[in-house]
Each structure stands twice: as C-alpha cells, then as structure tokens.
Amino acid sequence: MRHRLKDVAERAGVSVKTVSNVVNGHVHVRPDTRARVEEAISELNYRPNLSARHLRKGRTGVIALAVPELDIPYFAELARYVVSAAAGHGWTVLIDQTGGRREQERVLASGITGHLIDGLIISPLGLTAADLAGLDGTPMVLLGERIADGPADRVVIDNVAAAREVTDHLIRLGRRRIAAVGAQRTDEGASARLRLAGYRDALRAAGLDDDQALVASAPAWHRADGAAAMRGLLTSGVRPDAVFCFNDTLALGVLRALHEAGLRVPEDVAVAGFDDIEDGRFAIPALSTVAPDKEQIARLAVQLLADRLTGNPTLPTRHLKAPYRLHLRESTRVSRRGSVEEAR
C-alpha cells in the first residue's frame, strides 16, 4: 500500500501542511515536530511525490543552473542561493558545470535537455548571440553581460561602476601605481573587459597614468593564475603599491605571491578583489572586495524564469540589474571591525 501525505500527518499527529513543510525542507519547523514527522515517514515508508503537481502541468519540476566552474567559489555560493530561491517555486535545481565550453553551453541552450528540465539559468562564457538566435527551446535566463544584445532575459550587475568604485577606493588610500590582475582577450571574458574599463575610468578621472605594464592578464581566474600574474608583475620590475583583482580567487593567489615575496599587505601593497566569497572574509589579511548581491541575483533570475514559464510566451525580453556593495577589510586597511594593527 502506498501511503499519502495525509497518512503521515495522522500518524505524526500534525497537519498536512506541517508534513509538507518537513518534506520540502522548510526551516521553520520545531525540531521535535520534525523528528515526529520523520519517524512517521520512516514507519510508513512514505515517499514524497514532489513532482506530481509539476507533471500535471506537463513539467518535470526541475530547472538547470549552468555555470562554468563550481570550484570558483562565487558560482558555488550563487548555486546555493538559486537552490533556495527555486525551492520557493517547488523546483529542484540540477547544476551543470559547462567548463565554459561553447559546445556544452550550446547543447544546454538549444534544449537538448528539454525533456529533462523546465528551464535554464546560465552563466555563459563561450556562448554567442548567434548561438541563441532563433532558439525556441528551453526557457532561459542569462547571468552576466557576455551576450550583450541576446534575445533572452538576463540579470547583471554594473561591472564598470563597481570596478571604478573599488579602484577609486585604492586611489583615495594614496596609492598611485595600481595594478589590475585578470585581463583577458575580448572574446574570452565580458566581465574582464568591463572591469578593466571601470579600472581605467577611475585612473583617468584621478589623472593617473594608465600604464599598460600594470595590467596583468590571467587565462583563468583561479588562485594559481593570480599568484602567477603577481609574480610576473614583481619580476618585470613593475612595483605596484596596490592591486585590483578581477575576482577574489585571483586576489587570494596575489596575497600568497606577495607573502612569498616578503611584501606586507596592505602596508607595501593594498589588495582588493571582486565577488565577496567566504574565503576572502577569512583570509589573512581579510580581503576587501566588491560584493554583488548574490541572493538578489538568484532571486531575480528565478523570478524571470518563473514569469517565462507561467506567463504569456510573448512577454518582452527583460534585463534586470542587481545591486552590489563595497566591503572594505584588512587588505586595504580600512576595516569596520578595527585596523590591521588592532586585529594583530
């Protein structure tokens, strides 16, 4: 005999709504109530049929989140927020790691998994506007500015303004030889291009030299790339007094390279990153960074997808902007919880 939600509720002596809350993993359930419901589920060998509601609508109740790399912590943290926002719609999120490969992204975008998933949230690295033209596959939301004029809903942050702001902060510290780490070829990274533009804006506005020797490129944005770029800057004789890194993992590699070179952060070289990943908050010194509102990015992306799935198919394409903040910590000395000296 196959038991139903109602049977579990009766056995546990709680409402059907409470059982549903437990099954759907809602947090606001008292621990003893949760334990009682779990015991009843176990005794009855009840299997929640989460997808029944979705299947009635010809849907699977599953959406995909496609990101280039999960071991870039920004994407892992974003994934957590997307899972959480999607749960509010009763969706399960499956995550696809594309490696930024255009082919893999094309496969997803052209709906090959259309029999598996209801919709796709994708942070593309290789995909082009041409790849998207005329697609009538899986409903899709783009994250980031890779495809500037694509025919799809999208959520972005203002990368140019954020990069300008963090570079401004380094200039206001009195730093004059500010390096940028993370430049890429134009066809590789939209974020790199926009963050470099913001960095240059700030230098120009302050009347500082836009010295090409201070710009270090990084084929990928991992710690090892940041460390290699910083070592390159140091051995080339360029001696920056500050570094703006285009993401936090690059910055963590830069911190390590500076440490190995015997340079102090922030006394000799101030360092700022981008993303506000947890690693940076616990780094020694703690990392100043641009913090995109990841929770808001996830919520907006899920909402755009929900509107696309439930609404009028001729809904116009929407581009939404999520906010960001500047978090100043020990690596640029201006910490809200005390200076570097106090922390030591």
Q: Which residues bind a copy of itself (CB under 8 A)?
A: 22-25, 38, 41-42, 47-51, 60, 62, 64, 69-71, 73, 76-77, 79-80, 83, 92-97, 99, 101-104, 106-107, 110, 112-113, 115-116, 128, 130-131, 222-223, 227, 252-253, 255-256, 259-260, 262, 278-279, 281-284, 286, 343-344
Q: How many CB atoms lie within 10 A of CB 224?
A: 13
Beta carbon nearer to a copy of itself, 97 or 320: 97
Residue 317 token pair: 């394409």
CB of 160 to a copy of itself, least distance (A): 28
CB of 253 to a copy of itself, least distance (A): 6
Beta carbon nearer to a copy of itself, 294 or 308: 294
Beta carbon nearer to a copy of itself, 92 or 319: 92
CB of 234 to a copy of itself, least distance (A): 15
Beta carbon nearer to a copy of itself, 173 or 227: 227
CB of 17 to a copy of itself, least distance (A): 15
CB of 219 to a copy of itself, least distance (A): 13
Beta carbon nearer to a copy of itself, 164 or 222: 222
